[in-house]
Amino acid sequence: MKLLDVVALLEDLPEINLYRGQVGTIVEVYEPGIFEVEFSDNNGRAYAMKTLKKKQLVLLYHEPISKIMPSKQIKKTVFSNYRIL
């Protein structure tokens, strides 16, 4: 994951009104695996910002993965982002 990637939250954070599946954008990378994520509405207004760990997020793809990633990395990268709850 890197700056400006679009991600979705994998867990509920009710203390700040964020819930699994909400979509945000990485706006800062503090160190490997630690990100500041901005959550915005459809008009682009931020309604929450939170520092999150990689394990709390899943990277979203808006085009076929094969266009943006070598085939041997696809399985490792895509499936490492998922966990069974």
Q: Which domains does the chain have, with CATH numbers?
A: 6-80 (2.30.30)
30-85 residue pLDDT tens: 999 999 999 999 999 999 999 999 999 999 987 776 666 665 555 555 555 555 44
pLDDT of residue 63: 77
Global pTM?
Answer: 0.76
The residue with greater pLDDT, 20 or 79, is 20
The per-residue pLDDT for 7 is: 97
- Which of these, 79, 46, 83, lies nearest to 61 by C-alpha position? 79
User: What is the layout of strands, in order, in the sheet containing 57-59?
Assistant: 46-53, 34-40, 23-31, 6-9, 57-59
Dihedral of CA atoms 49, 52, 56, 58 in degrees, nearest 10, equals 70
Q: Which DSSP state fits 62?
A: S
